[in-house]
Amino acid sequence: MSGSGHHRNGELQARVNVLLALAEERGIVTRAQVDERLEALGTTVSPLNGARMVVRAWNDEAYRARLLDDAGAAATEIGVAGGGYSSDIRLHAVANTPEVHHVVVCTLCSCYPLAWLGPPPGWYKSEAYRSRVVRDPRGVLAEFGTVLGDDVEVRVWDASAEARYLVVPMAPPGVEALSEDEQLALVTRDCLIGVAVPSLSVGV
């Protein structure tokens, strides 16, 4: 990491320490409570949660229908719901098809389905991604190695304080011959955001 990177991280940590000190002083939260919450998140938020929902949808048409109708309820159904989100935040699942490809962004900040996709990648929070994927989604997807035909419509979903989105990618040909664990390995975080697609050449 460059010296400037260390400097920025140091400034950020200093600000966090000041805020924590103020919160403790006012009886809002303690450092121990913050550490406990971060530790809990580290063991419960993961892209494996979203992958489990996708793989279940690949293998169970009835579950797939429920997932697309009410993703929050479908997540609860297999024990991967919530992550501490309030009931005001709704999870939506959007499914790729041969005719339509979905990709997720948050243009205003970096709203993201943390509980189901794990910690957001740095590029998702960047100004470059947030502005460009709306204007030129095909170009951005191509930079991730996802090149779509001209006959495929690209739909960009803008997350908000009330809504989070999870992409259900298409199952690659031959996936039915794989074990559940092998199928799970195909569904990466980037697939769940929509900038990548599962491939049997990746993860197995």
Question: Any idea which residues carry the catalytic annotation?
Answer: 106, 109-111
Residue indicated by tokens 């005001």: 88
58: nearest Cα among 150, 195, 183: 183
Ramachandran angles phi, psi of 15, nearest 5°: -65, -40
Own/partner pairs, 147-152, CB within 8 angstroms, 24+ separation? 148/101, 151/99, 152/98, 152/99, 152/100, 152/101
* Residues ≥6 apart with Cβ < 8 Å to 162: 88, 89, 90
